Amino acid sequence: MTGNVRRYPGFGLFSIIFFVYLYLPIAVVIFYSFNANRIVANWGGFSLHWYTTALSNAALVGAVKTSLFVASIATVLSTIVALMAALVLVRGRNVRFRRVSETIVNLPLLLPEIVVAVAVLILFSELGLTNGLLKLTIAHTTFCIPFAFLPIRARLQGMDADLEEAARDLYASGWVAFRRVTLPLILPGVFAGAMLAFVISMDDFITSNLLNSGGATTLPVYIFSLIKQGVSPQLNAISTLIMIVSVALATVAFLLQRRQ
């Protein structure tokens, strides 16, 4: 049965209720971030005080810098590894144990994150690795690889392999064919995988909390420490700023893809 979904009785009302349930808490957080009162539930007038307090908080700024640094490095490394894995598993010929290799690449996605976090924690303890940023970068790169791998693999599978063969027939080397033909065609998948890996790294809490050490506190871990002290308008302001930055990045990415 096909047709306009608006013809289904009750579907419109259900959609409205769903979106209200989904976005009303976000609207409440944004609204109370401008509350002048220290008590969140009591409106004390409009104020930008908590935004000023949040932006001048040295611990918060340090946590943001740590998260951005770790997420950027993890995104680059995981995307490169995922791209190479996708090229081998999709375009490679006579690859032995292809299914096993795909399972190994996607293993961090299949396992509960707490298992991966405990495993890397034990590994770093056995190796005697004490650098907090290095531990976070390695761990984040590990569990971001499958998130970057899936969009790239899907894009490669949807690409016509005859285009690469045509480039090779025109005496292009493997590297030239990849750089001039394959990469431009799969670039949307690479970009999607990189953005997904970046968001997953920025949002991670379990692994970052277990590997947390001096000078390596990420933004989610810092926000959790604030929640343990009680919800404050400053926390609402921080959440609102994160949402603004996320929407801005998503908008820029959408406009760039649409322009291309």
pLDDT digits (tens, 9 = 90+) for 132-191: 888 899 999 988 999 999 989 988 888 877 787 788 778 778 788 888 888 888 888 888
pLDDT mean across residues, the chain? 83
With b for 16 or more beta-carbon neighbours within 10 A and e for fewer, the 90-127 pattern comes to beeeeeeeeeeebeebbebbeeeeeebbeebeeebeee
Topology, domain 58-259: MetI-like fold (1.10.3720)
Q: Tell me the pTM.
A: 0.81
If one counts every other C-beta atom within 10 angstroms of the C-beta of residue 165, the result is 12
pLDDT in the model for residue 260: 54
Is the pLDDT assigned to residue 78 strictly greater than 90?
yes
Predicted confidence at residue 236, as pLDDT, reads: 83
pLDDT of residue 81: 93
Distance in angstroms (rounded) separating the CA atoms of residues 21 and 193: 29
Q: pLDDT tens, 35-65? A: 887 777 777 788 888 888 888 888 888 888 8
The model's pLDDT over 114-135, given as tens digits with 9 standing for 90+, comes to 888 888 888 888 888 888 888 8
- Domain(s) labelled CATH 1.10.3720.10 in the chain stretch across 58-259
pLDDT (0 to 100) of residue 149? 92
Confidence bin at 73 (pLDDT 50/70/90): very high
